[in-house]
Amino acid sequence: MNNRKLSLAAKIVIALVAGVMFGIIANLFFSTGINEGISKWILSPLGDMFLRAIKMLVVPLVLCSLICGVASIGDIKKLGRVGVKTIIYYVFTTALAISLAMAVANVIKPGIGTNLSIQTAEKVETATPPFIMDMFVNMIPTNPIEAMVKGDMLQIIVFAILFGMCITLIGKKGETLLDMISQINEVLLKMITVIMLTAPVGVFALISKVIMFQGIGALLPLLKYFMTVILSLILQALIVYGTALKVLGGLNPIKFFKKFWPVMLVAFSTSSSNATIPVSLETCEEKLGASRSVASFTIPLGATINMDGTAIMQGVATIFISQLVGVNLTIHEMLMVVLTATLASIGTAGVPGAGIVMLSMVLQQVGLPVEGIALILSVDRLLDMLRTAVNVTGDAAATIIMSNSEKELNLDIYNSDIDLEKELNAEESAI
Protein backbone atom coordinates (compact mmCIF):
# COMPACT_ATOMS: atom_id res chain seq x y z
CA MET A 1 0.00 0.00 0.00
CA ASN A 2 1.33 3.42 -0.97
CA ASN A 3 1.30 5.78 1.99
CA ARG A 4 2.81 8.72 0.12
CA LYS A 5 1.05 11.91 1.12
CA LEU A 6 0.01 14.65 -1.26
CA SER A 7 2.58 17.35 -1.95
CA LEU A 8 1.77 20.97 -1.19
CA ALA A 9 1.43 21.73 -4.90
CA ALA A 10 -1.13 18.93 -5.30
CA LYS A 11 -3.07 20.22 -2.30
CA ILE A 12 -3.18 23.71 -3.82
CA VAL A 13 -4.52 22.32 -7.11
CA ILE A 14 -7.21 20.32 -5.28
CA ALA A 15 -8.15 23.40 -3.25
CA LEU A 16 -8.35 25.50 -6.42
CA VAL A 17 -10.64 23.01 -8.20
CA ALA A 18 -12.78 22.56 -5.08
CA GLY A 19 -13.04 26.34 -4.68
CA VAL A 20 -14.20 26.81 -8.28
CA MET A 21 -16.81 24.03 -7.90
CA PHE A 22 -18.07 25.38 -4.59
CA GLY A 23 -18.24 28.91 -6.02
CA ILE A 24 -20.30 27.75 -9.02
CA ILE A 25 -22.70 25.76 -6.80
CA ALA A 26 -23.10 28.69 -4.41
CA ASN A 27 -23.72 31.12 -7.28
CA LEU A 28 -26.34 28.90 -8.92
CA PHE A 29 -28.20 27.48 -5.92
CA PHE A 30 -27.63 29.69 -2.85
CA SER A 31 -29.43 32.96 -2.22
CA THR A 32 -27.52 36.25 -2.18
CA GLY A 33 -28.00 36.51 1.57
CA ILE A 34 -26.50 33.08 2.20
CA ASN A 35 -23.54 33.80 -0.08
CA GLU A 36 -22.89 37.11 1.65
CA GLY A 37 -23.01 35.37 5.02
CA ILE A 38 -20.58 32.63 3.91
CA SER A 39 -18.26 35.26 2.49
CA LYS A 40 -18.42 37.50 5.56
CA TRP A 41 -17.96 34.82 8.22
CA ILE A 42 -15.79 32.23 6.47
CA LEU A 43 -14.29 32.96 3.05
CA SER A 44 -13.23 36.60 3.47
CA PRO A 45 -11.53 36.07 6.86
CA LEU A 46 -9.67 32.94 5.68
CA GLY A 47 -8.61 34.47 2.36
CA ASP A 48 -7.62 37.79 3.90
CA MET A 49 -5.58 36.11 6.66
CA PHE A 50 -3.62 34.13 4.06
CA LEU A 51 -3.03 37.25 1.95
CA ARG A 52 -2.00 39.33 4.95
CA ALA A 53 0.39 36.62 6.12
CA ILE A 54 2.17 36.65 2.77
CA LYS A 55 2.12 40.43 2.41
CA MET A 56 3.53 40.70 5.93
CA LEU A 57 6.83 39.37 4.58
CA VAL A 58 7.04 41.30 1.31
CA VAL A 59 8.73 44.51 2.49
CA PRO A 60 11.21 43.02 5.02
CA LEU A 61 12.08 40.15 2.67
CA VAL A 62 12.64 42.38 -0.36
CA LEU A 63 14.73 44.77 1.73
CA CYS A 64 16.91 42.11 3.38
CA SER A 65 17.16 39.85 0.34
CA LEU A 66 18.12 42.70 -1.97
CA ILE A 67 20.71 44.11 0.45
CA CYS A 68 22.27 40.65 0.81
CA GLY A 69 22.15 40.05 -2.92
CA VAL A 70 23.75 43.35 -3.87
CA ALA A 71 26.42 43.05 -1.15
CA SER A 72 27.26 39.50 -2.24
CA ILE A 73 27.80 40.60 -5.85
CA GLY A 74 30.71 42.67 -4.64
CA ASP A 75 31.52 44.13 -8.05
CA ILE A 76 29.58 47.34 -8.69
CA LYS A 77 30.17 47.00 -12.45
CA LYS A 78 28.59 43.56 -12.38
CA LEU A 79 25.54 44.95 -10.55
CA GLY A 80 25.17 47.64 -13.20
CA ARG A 81 25.50 45.05 -15.96
CA VAL A 82 22.80 42.83 -14.45
CA GLY A 83 20.54 45.83 -13.88
CA VAL A 84 20.81 47.15 -17.44
CA LYS A 85 20.29 43.70 -18.99
CA THR A 86 17.26 43.03 -16.77
CA ILE A 87 15.55 46.36 -17.47
CA ILE A 88 16.12 46.01 -21.24
CA TYR A 89 14.70 42.47 -21.12
CA TYR A 90 11.64 43.58 -19.13
CA VAL A 91 10.84 46.50 -21.44
CA PHE A 92 11.32 44.35 -24.55
CA THR A 93 9.04 41.51 -23.34
CA THR A 94 6.37 44.00 -22.27
CA ALA A 95 6.38 45.69 -25.68
CA LEU A 96 6.31 42.24 -27.29
CA ALA A 97 3.39 41.19 -25.07
CA ILE A 98 1.16 44.10 -26.04
CA SER A 99 2.11 43.76 -29.73
CA LEU A 100 1.20 40.06 -29.59
CA ALA A 101 -2.08 40.86 -27.84
CA MET A 102 -3.07 43.45 -30.43
CA ALA A 103 -2.18 41.08 -33.27
CA VAL A 104 -4.33 38.30 -31.76
CA ALA A 105 -7.19 40.75 -31.15
CA ASN A 106 -7.05 42.01 -34.73
CA VAL A 107 -7.33 38.43 -35.98
CA ILE A 108 -10.13 37.30 -33.63
CA LYS A 109 -11.95 40.68 -33.63
CA PRO A 110 -13.64 40.32 -30.20
CA GLY A 111 -15.58 43.60 -30.58
CA ILE A 112 -17.20 42.64 -33.89
CA GLY A 113 -20.63 41.08 -33.52
CA THR A 114 -20.72 41.67 -29.76
CA ASN A 115 -24.09 42.87 -28.48
CA LEU A 116 -22.71 45.55 -26.17
CA SER A 117 -22.98 49.34 -26.27
CA ILE A 118 -20.51 51.92 -24.99
CA GLN A 119 -23.38 54.38 -24.49
CA THR A 120 -24.89 52.24 -21.71
CA ALA A 121 -21.61 52.02 -19.79
CA GLU A 122 -21.15 53.83 -16.52
CA LYS A 123 -18.55 56.53 -15.96
CA VAL A 124 -15.26 55.14 -14.72
CA GLU A 125 -12.26 56.57 -12.92
CA THR A 126 -9.56 57.85 -15.24
CA ALA A 127 -5.87 58.45 -14.71
CA THR A 128 -3.50 61.02 -16.14
CA PRO A 129 -0.29 59.71 -17.68
CA PRO A 130 2.63 60.68 -15.43
CA PHE A 131 5.43 62.89 -16.73
CA ILE A 132 8.20 60.42 -17.57
CA MET A 133 10.87 62.35 -15.64
CA ASP A 134 8.67 62.27 -12.52
CA MET A 135 8.93 58.49 -12.60
CA PHE A 136 12.71 58.73 -12.25
CA VAL A 137 12.53 61.44 -9.58
CA ASN A 138 10.00 59.47 -7.51
CA MET A 139 12.28 56.43 -7.47
CA ILE A 140 14.40 58.18 -4.83
CA PRO A 141 12.79 57.97 -1.37
CA THR A 142 12.91 61.12 0.76
CA ASN A 143 12.11 58.89 3.73
CA PRO A 144 12.95 55.17 3.33
CA ILE A 145 10.96 54.28 6.46
CA GLU A 146 7.87 55.93 4.96
CA ALA A 147 8.48 54.03 1.70
CA MET A 148 8.51 50.75 3.65
CA VAL A 149 5.33 51.66 5.52
CA LYS A 150 3.54 52.53 2.26
CA GLY A 151 5.02 49.52 0.46
CA ASP A 152 6.47 51.65 -2.35
CA MET A 153 8.50 48.86 -3.92
CA LEU A 154 10.53 50.94 -6.37
CA GLN A 155 11.75 53.27 -3.63
CA ILE A 156 12.53 50.30 -1.37
CA ILE A 157 14.51 48.68 -4.19
CA VAL A 158 16.58 51.84 -4.80
CA PHE A 159 17.33 52.22 -1.07
CA ALA A 160 18.23 48.53 -0.67
CA ILE A 161 20.56 48.59 -3.70
CA LEU A 162 22.37 51.68 -2.42
CA PHE A 163 22.57 50.19 1.09
CA GLY A 164 24.00 46.91 -0.22
CA MET A 165 26.52 48.73 -2.42
CA CYS A 166 27.78 50.78 0.52
CA ILE A 167 28.18 47.66 2.69
CA THR A 168 30.46 46.34 -0.03
CA LEU A 169 32.37 49.62 -0.27
CA ILE A 170 33.20 49.80 3.46
CA GLY A 171 34.61 46.27 3.28
CA LYS A 172 35.42 44.38 6.49
CA LYS A 173 33.60 46.86 8.74
CA GLY A 174 30.29 45.89 7.13
CA GLU A 175 30.64 42.12 7.52
CA THR A 176 28.95 41.95 10.94
CA LEU A 177 25.98 44.00 9.71
CA LEU A 178 25.71 41.88 6.56
CA ASP A 179 25.77 38.66 8.61
CA MET A 180 22.92 39.96 10.78
CA ILE A 181 20.82 40.95 7.75
CA SER A 182 21.56 37.55 6.16
CA GLN A 183 20.32 35.76 9.29
CA ILE A 184 17.13 37.85 9.28
CA ASN A 185 16.70 36.94 5.62
CA GLU A 186 16.99 33.22 6.44
CA VAL A 187 14.32 33.55 9.13
CA LEU A 188 12.00 35.31 6.67
CA LEU A 189 12.51 32.55 4.10
CA LYS A 190 11.61 29.96 6.74
CA MET A 191 8.48 31.95 7.57
CA ILE A 192 7.45 31.67 3.92
CA THR A 193 7.65 27.87 4.13
CA VAL A 194 5.51 27.84 7.27
CA ILE A 195 2.89 30.23 5.87
CA MET A 196 2.67 28.29 2.60
CA LEU A 197 1.39 25.26 4.52
CA THR A 198 -1.89 27.19 4.85
CA ALA A 199 -1.99 27.96 1.11
CA PRO A 200 -4.66 25.34 0.20
CA VAL A 201 -7.11 26.91 2.67
CA GLY A 202 -6.32 30.43 1.48
CA VAL A 203 -6.58 29.47 -2.20
CA PHE A 204 -9.94 27.75 -1.64
CA ALA A 205 -11.35 30.80 0.16
CA LEU A 206 -10.08 33.35 -2.36
CA ILE A 207 -11.24 31.55 -5.51
CA SER A 208 -14.58 30.51 -3.97
CA LYS A 209 -15.41 34.11 -3.13
CA VAL A 210 -14.68 35.34 -6.66
CA ILE A 211 -16.67 32.62 -8.43
CA MET A 212 -19.52 32.82 -5.91
CA PHE A 213 -20.29 36.44 -6.76
CA GLN A 214 -19.05 36.63 -10.36
CA GLY A 215 -20.63 33.41 -11.60
CA ILE A 216 -20.57 32.40 -15.25
CA GLY A 217 -23.42 34.71 -16.24
CA ALA A 218 -21.17 37.79 -16.30
CA LEU A 219 -18.81 35.99 -18.65
CA LEU A 220 -21.20 35.16 -21.48
CA PRO A 221 -21.65 38.62 -23.11
CA LEU A 222 -17.89 39.14 -23.07
CA LEU A 223 -16.84 35.57 -23.84
CA LYS A 224 -15.05 36.50 -27.08
CA TYR A 225 -13.04 39.24 -25.34
CA PHE A 226 -12.34 36.92 -22.39
CA MET A 227 -11.03 34.11 -24.60
CA THR A 228 -8.91 36.53 -26.67
CA VAL A 229 -7.12 37.74 -23.53
CA ILE A 230 -6.64 34.17 -22.31
CA LEU A 231 -5.20 33.04 -25.65
CA SER A 232 -2.78 35.98 -25.66
CA LEU A 233 -1.71 35.21 -22.08
CA ILE A 234 -1.09 31.54 -22.94
CA LEU A 235 0.97 32.48 -26.00
CA GLN A 236 3.04 34.92 -23.95
CA ALA A 237 3.69 32.40 -21.16
CA LEU A 238 4.41 29.32 -23.23
CA ILE A 239 5.77 30.64 -26.53
CA VAL A 240 7.51 33.91 -25.59
CA TYR A 241 8.91 32.86 -22.21
CA GLY A 242 9.56 29.31 -23.37
CA THR A 243 11.47 30.57 -26.41
CA ALA A 244 13.40 33.09 -24.28
CA LEU A 245 14.47 30.34 -21.87
CA LYS A 246 15.57 28.13 -24.77
CA VAL A 247 17.22 30.76 -26.98
CA LEU A 248 18.58 33.29 -24.48
CA GLY A 249 19.20 30.88 -21.63
CA GLY A 250 19.93 27.65 -23.48
CA LEU A 251 17.64 25.88 -21.00
CA ASN A 252 14.80 23.36 -21.15
CA PRO A 253 11.60 25.40 -20.63
CA ILE A 254 9.63 22.29 -19.60
CA LYS A 255 11.80 21.97 -16.48
CA PHE A 256 11.00 25.58 -15.63
CA PHE A 257 7.22 25.23 -15.93
CA LYS A 258 7.13 21.89 -14.06
CA LYS A 259 8.74 23.51 -11.03
CA PHE A 260 7.21 26.97 -11.22
CA TRP A 261 3.52 26.19 -11.78
CA PRO A 262 2.67 26.07 -8.02
CA VAL A 263 3.81 29.71 -7.78
CA MET A 264 1.55 30.52 -10.74
CA LEU A 265 -1.36 29.08 -8.76
CA VAL A 266 -0.52 31.29 -5.77
CA ALA A 267 -0.33 34.32 -8.08
CA PHE A 268 -3.64 33.30 -9.67
CA SER A 269 -5.42 33.09 -6.32
CA THR A 270 -3.94 36.27 -4.80
CA SER A 271 -4.05 38.46 -7.94
CA SER A 272 -1.02 40.30 -6.58
CA SER A 273 2.51 40.25 -7.97
CA ASN A 274 3.83 41.80 -4.76
CA ALA A 275 2.17 39.16 -2.59
CA THR A 276 3.81 36.44 -4.66
CA ILE A 277 7.35 37.83 -4.26
CA PRO A 278 8.27 35.66 -1.22
CA VAL A 279 7.07 32.41 -2.84
CA SER A 280 8.65 33.27 -6.19
CA LEU A 281 12.00 34.08 -4.57
CA GLU A 282 12.02 30.81 -2.68
CA THR A 283 11.14 28.73 -5.76
CA CYS A 284 13.65 30.45 -8.08
CA GLU A 285 16.48 29.96 -5.62
CA GLU A 286 15.75 26.54 -4.14
CA LYS A 287 14.00 24.65 -6.97
CA LEU A 288 15.30 26.37 -10.10
CA GLY A 289 18.85 27.09 -8.96
CA ALA A 290 18.88 30.85 -9.52
CA SER A 291 21.58 32.93 -7.89
CA ARG A 292 20.31 34.63 -4.74
CA SER A 293 22.14 37.83 -5.65
CA VAL A 294 20.37 37.93 -9.04
CA ALA A 295 16.95 36.70 -7.86
CA SER A 296 16.80 39.20 -5.00
CA PHE A 297 17.22 41.94 -7.60
CA THR A 298 15.15 40.73 -10.56
CA ILE A 299 12.07 39.38 -8.72
CA PRO A 300 11.18 42.54 -6.72
CA LEU A 301 12.08 44.75 -9.68
CA GLY A 302 9.95 42.62 -11.99
CA ALA A 303 6.97 42.79 -9.62
CA THR A 304 7.27 46.57 -9.86
CA ILE A 305 7.99 47.27 -13.54
CA ASN A 306 7.41 44.05 -15.50
CA MET A 307 3.68 43.66 -16.10
CA ASP A 308 3.38 41.67 -19.33
CA GLY A 309 -0.01 40.22 -18.38
CA THR A 310 -1.36 43.69 -17.63
CA ALA A 311 0.01 44.99 -20.95
CA ILE A 312 -1.74 42.13 -22.78
CA MET A 313 -5.08 43.04 -21.21
CA GLN A 314 -4.57 46.68 -22.20
CA GLY A 315 -3.75 45.72 -25.79
CA VAL A 316 -6.76 43.44 -26.26
CA ALA A 317 -9.10 45.85 -24.43
CA THR A 318 -8.01 48.76 -26.65
CA ILE A 319 -8.72 46.81 -29.86
CA PHE A 320 -11.98 45.47 -28.37
CA ILE A 321 -13.27 48.95 -27.47
CA SER A 322 -12.14 50.44 -30.80
CA GLN A 323 -14.12 47.75 -32.64
CA LEU A 324 -17.20 48.37 -30.47
CA VAL A 325 -17.25 52.06 -31.42
CA GLY A 326 -16.31 51.39 -35.05
CA VAL A 327 -12.88 53.05 -34.98
CA ASN A 328 -10.06 51.55 -37.03
CA LEU A 329 -6.76 52.33 -35.35
CA THR A 330 -3.94 53.37 -37.67
CA ILE A 331 -0.45 51.85 -37.48
CA HIS A 332 0.75 55.06 -35.81
CA GLU A 333 -2.02 54.84 -33.19
CA MET A 334 -1.21 51.19 -32.52
CA LEU A 335 2.43 52.10 -31.99
CA MET A 336 1.28 54.78 -29.54
CA VAL A 337 -0.72 52.11 -27.71
CA VAL A 338 2.39 49.91 -27.49
CA LEU A 339 4.49 52.79 -26.12
CA THR A 340 1.86 54.07 -23.69
CA ALA A 341 0.90 50.62 -22.41
CA THR A 342 4.57 49.70 -21.92
CA LEU A 343 5.16 52.82 -19.82
CA ALA A 344 1.84 52.35 -18.00
CA SER A 345 2.66 48.74 -17.13
CA ILE A 346 5.97 49.89 -15.65
CA GLY A 347 4.08 52.22 -13.37
CA THR A 348 1.32 49.74 -12.52
CA ALA A 349 1.37 48.73 -8.87
CA GLY A 350 1.55 45.00 -8.20
CA VAL A 351 -1.88 44.92 -6.58
CA PRO A 352 -5.31 43.68 -7.76
CA GLY A 353 -7.14 45.91 -10.23
CA ALA A 354 -4.42 48.50 -10.86
CA GLY A 355 -4.29 47.64 -14.57
CA ILE A 356 -7.83 48.92 -15.14
CA VAL A 357 -6.92 52.42 -13.96
CA MET A 358 -3.84 52.39 -16.19
CA LEU A 359 -5.97 51.30 -19.17
CA SER A 360 -7.66 54.70 -19.10
CA MET A 361 -4.30 56.30 -19.96
CA VAL A 362 -3.97 54.08 -23.02
CA LEU A 363 -7.51 54.78 -24.24
CA GLN A 364 -7.16 58.54 -23.80
CA GLN A 365 -3.89 58.48 -25.73
CA VAL A 366 -5.65 57.25 -28.89
CA GLY A 367 -8.94 59.08 -28.35
CA LEU A 368 -11.13 56.10 -27.40
CA PRO A 369 -13.97 56.47 -24.85
CA VAL A 370 -12.85 55.49 -21.34
CA GLU A 371 -16.46 54.50 -20.62
CA GLY A 372 -15.67 51.28 -22.48
CA ILE A 373 -13.69 50.15 -19.43
CA ALA A 374 -16.94 49.71 -17.50
CA LEU A 375 -18.04 47.01 -19.95
CA ILE A 376 -15.07 44.76 -19.20
CA LEU A 377 -15.10 45.26 -15.42
CA SER A 378 -17.50 42.34 -14.94
CA VAL A 379 -14.89 39.81 -16.09
CA ASP A 380 -11.74 41.69 -15.14
CA ARG A 381 -11.47 40.11 -11.69
CA LEU A 382 -11.04 36.68 -13.28
CA LEU A 383 -8.66 38.02 -15.93
CA ASP A 384 -6.70 39.84 -13.22
CA MET A 385 -5.96 36.48 -11.63
CA LEU A 386 -4.76 35.02 -14.92
CA ARG A 387 -2.59 37.95 -15.94
CA THR A 388 -0.95 38.07 -12.51
CA ALA A 389 0.15 34.46 -13.05
CA VAL A 390 1.73 35.55 -16.35
CA ASN A 391 3.36 38.58 -14.70
CA VAL A 392 5.18 36.50 -12.07
CA THR A 393 6.13 33.85 -14.64
CA GLY A 394 7.84 36.54 -16.71
CA ASP A 395 9.76 37.74 -13.65
CA ALA A 396 10.93 34.20 -12.86
CA ALA A 397 11.94 33.45 -16.46
CA ALA A 398 14.01 36.64 -16.51
CA THR A 399 15.64 35.64 -13.22
CA ILE A 400 16.72 32.27 -14.61
CA ILE A 401 17.99 33.80 -17.86
CA MET A 402 19.96 36.52 -16.05
CA SER A 403 21.41 34.02 -13.56
CA ASN A 404 22.56 31.82 -16.42
CA SER A 405 24.02 34.76 -18.36
CA GLU A 406 26.13 35.58 -15.29
CA LYS A 407 27.21 31.91 -15.01
CA GLU A 408 25.51 31.74 -11.60
CA LEU A 409 22.66 29.33 -12.35
CA ASN A 410 22.98 25.98 -10.60
CA LEU A 411 22.25 23.72 -13.56
CA ASP A 412 22.18 20.60 -11.38
CA ILE A 413 19.26 22.04 -9.39
CA TYR A 414 17.53 23.42 -12.51
CA ASN A 415 17.70 20.13 -14.41
CA SER A 416 16.88 17.92 -11.42
CA ASP A 417 13.54 16.15 -11.20
CA ILE A 418 11.08 17.10 -8.49
CA ASP A 419 11.17 14.66 -5.59
CA LEU A 420 7.68 14.86 -4.10
CA GLU A 421 8.68 12.81 -1.05
CA LYS A 422 11.59 15.13 -0.35
CA GLU A 423 9.34 18.15 -0.84
CA LEU A 424 6.80 16.74 1.60
CA ASN A 425 9.44 16.04 4.22
CA ALA A 426 10.74 19.59 3.86
CA GLU A 427 7.24 20.97 4.38
CA GLU A 428 6.64 18.88 7.48
CA SER A 429 10.03 19.74 8.98
CA ALA A 430 9.20 23.43 8.68
CA ILE A 431 6.58 23.21 11.41
Is residue 280 a contact partner of residue 392, using CB atoms and an 8 Å limit?
Answer: yes
With contact defined as beta carbons under 8 Å apart, do 54 and 275 qualify? yes
Q: Do 316 and 235 meet the contact criterion of CB atoms below 8 Å apart?
A: no
Q: Which residues, 6 or more positions from 45, have their beta carbon under 8 angstroms from its beta carbon?
A: none
CA atoms of 217 and 378, how far apart (whole Å): 10
Pick left, alpha or beta for residue 252 (phi over 0 → left; psi -120 to 50 → alpha; otherwise beta): beta
Residue 350's pLDDT is what?
A: 47
Which domains does the chain show, CATH number per domain? 30-428 (1.10.3860.10)
Decide: 420 and 299 in contact? Cβ < 8 Å.
no
Helix or strand run (H / E) with residue 302: helix 292-305
Phi, psi dihedral angles at 408 (to 5 degrees): -120, 10
379 and 226 Cβ atoms separated by less than 8 Å = yes
Report the distance separating Cα 291 and Cα 74, nearest Å. 14
| Whether 415 contacts 254, CB under 8 Å | no
Mark the ranges of the chain whose per-residue pLDDT is less than 50.
1-3, 120-122, 350, 420-421, 424, 427-428, 430-431
Contact 283, 360 (CB under 8 A): no
Q: Quickly list DSSP for 129-179.
A: PPPHHHHHHTTS-S-HHHHHHHT-HHHHHHHHHHHHHHHHHHGGGGHHHHH
The per-residue pLDDT for 348 is: 53
How confident is the model at residue 169, as a pLDDT?
A: 87
Q: In whole angstroms, what is the distance from residue 133 CA to residue 282 CA?
A: 34
Count the neighbouring beta carbons within 10 Å of the beta carbon of residue 133.
8
pLDDT at 85: 92
Rounded Cα–Cα distance for residues 368 and 423 (Å): 51
- Where in 196-339 does DSSP place strands (E)? none
3-state secondary structure of 123: coil
Query: So what's the pLDDT on residue 115?
Result: 64
CA distance 287 to 259: 7
Q: Are 358 and 345 in contact (CB under 8 A)?
A: yes
Cite the DSSP H helix spans in 248-324: 253-270, 273-286, 292-305, 308-324
- What are the tens digits of pLDDT across the range 181-202? 989 988 988 888 888 888 899 8
pLDDT value at position 1? 43
